[in-house]
């Protein structure tokens, strides 16, 4: 068998693609990294930039944590408002799990990751190459064909093709891998503000307004991104005057930001259709990572973190397994299992809440306890940061603690209030 030109051909040089390219090449593999956009500073515009703590080990393994902080990226955490009060996690780290992720604008992050990949020996970055064909041999994907400009084409043969080309994955279309689609009943708008001070300091904030959601995300460059995700029944009214509707929403927030003391630094960006998409993560000779494998509701800010992590899982599962088709297939099966084990249950819950439905009984129990008890708050925050699985989040111990916290709260609220001298002593 003749050796193909590359070990791995990756389509898409954004978070997932650059992470995979860098880590594969560090393992000694030859990597072609194709990116449709020619500008090395291109970046994803529709993102609110909150990278969950679950991705911090991958970011550290890549060696970009320092560069992110030097570029003004913020170690993040988030205060969450619910009808029961704020869910706050005290401190940043020191526990079993990474205590913080990062807030960094994609305008800063994407070119940084692309430079990292391009400067890694073994990676050939091919900007301005639009993948538009797949080569198949004996039922396996064995390469990808790209168009550069109107005239030139480039064929890249590789042992493994990786689709890191985002939620609309062209590679999935070419490979006849349709997405499973689950409806999303919210739309989103956001804008950047300069000079905004938040009661949470540099922590982000999220308001569960049942069913609408609002956020503040401090970022690099002295910019704070404000975002909201109302349910779609409000879309027509919102669109009639976006500025007024947006600002009204933030003025009404409990302990919300003061728009009067900040300057809006961008127009409003809107996203109306954001269906939840998932795809089987492998075929013979092909793997999907990042949004191409799973693109869920941005309400929870998990996509960037999972793009980093799924790229790392793929490299760890197949990086040493490219010698024969058989080994590669086993590696791909390991990756598919790992992806499923880590993300399928999270995806299920996220899609369920994306319908805009009211809280269910378990959510009422756990959210209310988290607003009342520091340990329950920490548990809730570990789940939001995707540091723990759905099984751990709903463990009997966590449910028992939440019941105990809420029973104590109920009992205290029923106790007669002290009056007279007793009240003075209290």
Ligand X SMILES: Cc1cc2nc3c(=O)[nH]c(=O)nc-3n(C[C@H](O)[C@H](O)[C@H](O)COP(=O)(O)OP(=O)(O)OC[C@H]3O[C@@H](n4cnc5c(N)ncnc54)[C@H](O)[C@@H]3O)c2cc1C
To the nearest 10 degrees (0 to 180), the angle between helices 396-414 and 374-384 is 140
Binding part of the chain for ligand X, among 14-22, 176-184, 252-260, 417-425 by CB under 6 A, reads 14-22
Complex with ligand X: residue 312 or 373, whichever CB lies closer: 312
Q: CA 280, 286, 292, 295 torsion: positive or negative?
A: positive
Q: Which is nearer to ligand X, 64 or 304 (CB)?
A: 304
Q: Does 38 bind ligand X (CB under 6 A)?
A: no
Least distance (Å) between residue 164 CB and ligand X: 5
Residue 128 Cβ, how far from ligand X at the closest point, in Å? 9
Nearest distance, CB of residue 280 and ligand X, angstroms: 16
Q: Using CB under 6 A, which of the segments 11-19, 148-156, 349-357, 372-380 binds ligand X?
A: 11-19
Query: Contacting ligand X (CB under 6 A), which of 301, 319, 331, 384?
Result: 301
Closest approach of ligand X to the CB of residue 121, in Å: 22
Per CB under 6 A, the list member of 7, 10, 14, 219 interacting with ligand X is 14
Maximum CA pair distance of the chain?
A: 92
Q: Which is nearer to ligand X, 301 or 331 (CB)?
A: 301
Torsion-angle region of 100 (φ positive above 0: left; ψ -120 to 50: alpha; else: beta)? beta
| Contact between 271 and ligand X per CB under 6 A | yes
Which residues 6+ apart lie within 8 Å of 27 measured at CB?
315, 319, 320
Based on CB atoms, which residue is closest to ligand X, 81 or 190?
Answer: 190
CB of 70 to ligand X, least distance (A): 21
Smallest separation (angstroms) from ligand X to the CB of 153:
13
* Residue list 302-341, contact with ligand X (CB under 6 A): 302-305, 307
Instruction: Pick out residues in 347-406 that bind ligand X (CB under 6 A).
Output: none
313 exposure class (CB count in 10 Å sphere: 0-12, 13-18, 19+): buried
Which of the ranges 12-20, 236-244, 350-358, 388-396 carries the binding residues for ligand X, by CB under 6 A? 12-20
Taking CB under 6 A as the binding criterion, the range among 30-38, 153-161, 179-187, 245-253 that sits at the site for ligand X is 30-38
Measured from the CB atom, the residue of 203 and 402 that comes closer to ligand X is: 203
By beta-carbon proximity to ligand X, the closer residue of 60 and 320 is 60
Site for ligand X in 138-177 (CB under 6 A): 164-166, 170
**Region of 9-17, 152-160, 193-201, 332-340 interacting with ligand X (CB under 6 A):** 9-17
Which stretch in 236-244, 291-299, 359-367, 407-415 sits in contact with ligand X by CB under 6 A? 291-299
Of 38, 46, 181, 272, the one binding ligand X (CB under 6 A) is 46
Residue 49 binds ligand X (CB under 6 A): yes
Contact status: 16 vs ligand X (CB under 6 A): yes
Helices 361-372/396-414 angle, 10° precision = 70
Which is it for the CA torsion 317, 320, 322, 328, positive or negative? negative
User: Is 26 or 386 the residue whose CB approaches ligand X more closely?
Assistant: 386
Pick the piece of the chain touching ligand X (CB under 6 A) from 33-41, 116-124, 340-348, 355-363. 33-41
Cβ count near 299 (within 10 Å): 20
CA distance between the termini of the chain: 84
CA-CA distance, 256 to 276, in Å (whole number)? 29
Residue of the chain from 112, 123, 130, 322 that contacts ligand X (CB under 6 A): 130
Q: Which is nearer to ligand X, 131 or 369 (CB)?
A: 131
Angle at alpha carbon of residue 388, lines to 273 and 216, rounded to 5°: 45
Out of 73, 298, 331, 384, which residue is the one contacting ligand X (CB under 6 A)?
A: 298
Q: Which residues bind ligand X (CB under 6 A)?
A: 11-17, 34-37, 44, 46-51, 130-131, 164-166, 170, 188, 271, 274, 290-292, 298, 301-305, 307
């Amino acid at each position: 068998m003749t050796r193909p030109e590359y070990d791995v051909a990756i389509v898409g040089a954004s978070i997932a693609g650059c992470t995979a390219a860098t880590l594969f090449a560090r393992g000694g593999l030859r990597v072609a990294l194709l990116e449709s956009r020619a500008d090395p500073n291109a970046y994803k515009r529709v993102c609110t930039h909150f990278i969950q703590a679950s991705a911090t080990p991958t970011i550290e393994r890549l060696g970009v944590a320092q560069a992110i902080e030097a570029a003004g990226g913020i170690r993040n955490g988030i205060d969450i408002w619910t009808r029961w009060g704020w869910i706050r996690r005290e401190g940043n780290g020191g526990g079993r799990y990474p205590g913080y992720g990062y807030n960094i604008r994609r305008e800063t992050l994407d070119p940084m990751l692309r430079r990292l990949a391009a400067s890694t020996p073994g990676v050939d970055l091919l900007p301005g190459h639009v993948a538009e064909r797949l080569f198949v041999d004996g039922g396996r994907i064995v390469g990808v064909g790209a168009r550069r400009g109107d005239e030139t084409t480039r064929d890249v043969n590789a042992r493994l093709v990786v689709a890191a080309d985002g939620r609309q994955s062209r590679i999935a279309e070419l490979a006849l891998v349709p997405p499973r689609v689950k409806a999303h009943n919210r739309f989103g708008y956001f804008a950047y503000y300069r000079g905004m001070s938040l009661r949470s300091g540099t922590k982000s904030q999220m308001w569960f307004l049942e069913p609408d959601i609002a956020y503040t995300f401090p970022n690099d460059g002295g910019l704070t991104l404000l975002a909201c995700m109302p349910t779609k029944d409000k879309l027509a009214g919102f669109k009639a005057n976006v500025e007024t509707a947006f600002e009204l929403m933030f003025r009404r927030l409990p302990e919300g930001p003061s728009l009067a003391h900040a300057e809006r630094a961008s127009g409003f960006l809107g996203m109306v259709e954001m269906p939840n998409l998932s795809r089987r993560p492998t075929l013979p000779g092909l793997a999907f990572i990042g949004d191409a494998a799973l693109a869920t509701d941005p309400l929870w800010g998990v996509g960037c973190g999972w793009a980093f992590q799924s790229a790392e899982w793929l490299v760890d599962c197949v990086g040493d397994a490219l010698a024969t088709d058989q080994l590669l297939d086993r590696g791909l099966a390991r990756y598919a299992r790992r992806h499923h084990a880590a993300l399928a249950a999270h995806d299920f819950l996220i899609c369920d809440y994306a319908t805009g439905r009211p809280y269910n009984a378990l959510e009422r129990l756990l959210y209310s306890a988290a607003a009342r008890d520091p340990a329950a708050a920490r548990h809730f925050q570990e789940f939001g940061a995707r540091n723990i699985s759905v099984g751990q989040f709903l463990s009997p111990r966590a449910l028992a603690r939440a019941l105990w916290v809420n029973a104590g709260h109920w009992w205290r609220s029923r106790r007669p209030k002290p009056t007279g001298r007793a009240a003075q002593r209290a």
